Structure 1
Amino acid sequence: MLARAACLLACRAEQLQLSKQLVRCFAAAASAPKTDYKLPVAPLQLSGTSGAIATLAWQVAAKENVLANVQDELYQLVEVFKTYPEIRRLATDPFLPVAFRQKVVCDMCAAKEVTEVTKRLMEALAEENSLSAIVQVTLAYEELMLAHKKEVHCTVVTAQPLDDAERAVFTKQAQAFVEPGFKLVMKEKVDRKLLGGFVLEFEDRLVDMSKAKKLEEFNNLVTKLENDLK
């Protein structure tokens, strides 16, 4: 069914800054397209080529009802690229023949029995010698999934483990940065180098209220004053 998206994908290729080869690889998944095939609207507008590719993959995955499957497969593939040096070489060596790169990708996808969406995405990246972009594409896809599920992930970092009362306080503070209608998903992490205070780590922002940060700012101010007095 992916190929039925070919008409719309081809029309949007220039707008999304995608290569004709990328569109062709997605379109090759099946036969004769239907002009009434419409892709879902992405929940977030991303910039850049990786964002455009992730958006395209998300839209087709949403239409095929395999959003979570594709996300899980992308995570696994990124882990493969991180774990095996020979696969990283495959992703970055410009002198390897395209046919060889595509065969390795096909074999890898067949071994993992991935969805057609992920398979075509990987084949397209292999043909374009852009397999190294899989990490950025996966991160962009994750952004789309978070927006789709209306979730905001936050990690609260403290110098000591939290008790229930502290957890309630930090949850309330983190919730203040979440837009109405979105669900806060919070994780906890201990970093004794903070000395005290806390850090809230969101996908797109960092709120640093640690003692270590305040001490750094104080030392920087003292250094500036000393330099000004010279």
Structure 2
Amino acid sequence: MLAVARKTSLAPALGLGQRAASAIALKYSNAVYGAALAKSPQVLNKVHSELATISTTIAQDPGLTTFIQNPTLSANERKAGLDTIYSRLEGPKKEPVSEITKNLLGVLSENGRLGETQGVIEGFNELVGKYRGELNVVVTSAALLPKDVLSRLETALKQSQAGQKAKVLKVANKVNPTVLGGLVVDFGDKTIDLSVQSRVTKLNTVLQRLYSYSVSV
């Protein structure tokens, strides 16, 4: 069983950024990671694989996306939705789903926190990555970066203190047009914001302060 208290609150935590969502879901991530590793490295690998499948399934199925983001569903509706997810995990071979994965989703459902599922999985993946000596780096840009740029960035990251400690360095490029230009680099619990949007935001803050000062005098 996961060492997570069961609550009756149905308040969803939607619209939060990746970091915020992971912070809220951290206790669940730690609980499922600790429970799986306590069993064996093999169980940890199985749960990791199952959660990866859940993440992909939810992302590709609009119906399941709606399901996990609706905290007002009845107990029967939540059970039906979870049964659908378990069926996808079992696949054609009907391989049993681990009790740890089932318990995680059950606790999230009872606590009205199914909307945090992706955040929980992200946090879990970070813990597994650390356990395996991996450093996962997410580079967010306004458009896909050319392969040669990613290659140079990866080389630079390998020479960093964090990169030298890692056994494996994985770099993923995500696209977010709101950054306008430049890069936002996430690795571990650190964020390096080199985006144009960040500079624009800082400039707007300065201008607002100047305007407020001019009005007051």
Query: So what's the TM-score if we normalise by structure 2?
Result: 0.61
Q: Is 1:168 matched up with 2:146? A: no
Report matched runs for 1:1-230 at 5 Å. Answer: 16-17=3-4, 48-62=27-41, 65-81=42-58, 83=61, 85=63, 88=67, 92=71, 95-96=74-75, 104=83, 108=87, 111-112=90-91, 113-115=94-96, 117=98, 119-122=99-102, 125-126=105-106, 129-130=110-111, 132=114, 134-158=117-141, 161-162=145-146, 164=148, 167-169=151-153, 171-173=155-157, 175-176=159-160, 178=162, 180-182=164-166, 183-189=168-174, 194-230=179-215
Q: Which amino acid aligns with 1:150?
A: G
Distance 1:167 1:220, change over 3 A: farther
How many residue pairs match? The answer is 188
Contact 2:136–2:169 (8 Å) recurs in 1 = yes
Runs of 5+ unmatched residues, structure 2: 7-24
Contact 2:140–2:174 (8 Å) recurs in 1 = yes
Shift of 1:53: 3.0
Q: Which amino acid aligns with 1:68?
A: N
Distance 1:115 1:187, change over 3 A: same
Distance 1:126 1:47, change over 3 A: closer
Counterparts of 2:44 and 2:127, CA distance in 1: 10
Counterparts of 1:103 and 1:190, CA distance in 2: 31
- String of CA shifts for 1:183-210, please: whole Å, max 9, x gaps: 3211234556545432212353321112
Q: Which amino acid aligns with 1:74?
A: L
Shift of 1:129: 2.8
Q: The residue matched to 1:209 in structure 2 has which SS?
A: strand
| RCO comparison, higher one (Cα < 8 Å, 6+) | 2
Counterparts of 1:214 and 1:111, CA distance in 2: 48
Shift of 1:224: 1.1
Contact 1:105–1:126 (8 Å) recurs in 2 = no
Contact 1:102–1:126 (8 Å) recurs in 2 = no
RMSD over aligned Cα atoms: 4.2
Contact 1:159–1:196 (8 Å) recurs in 2 = yes
Counterparts of 1:48 and 1:186, CA distance in 2: 26
**Among the aligned pairs, what percent are the same residue?**
17
Q: The residue matched to 2:192 in structure 1 has which SS?
A: strand
Distance 1:144 1:227, change over 3 A: same
Query: So what's the TM-score if we normalise by structure 1?
Result: 0.58
Q: The residue matched to 2:165 in structure 1 has which SS?
A: coil
Rg larger in structure? 1
Q: The residue matched to 2:152 in structure 1 has which SS?
A: helix
Q: The residue matched to 1:178 in structure 2 has which SS?
A: helix
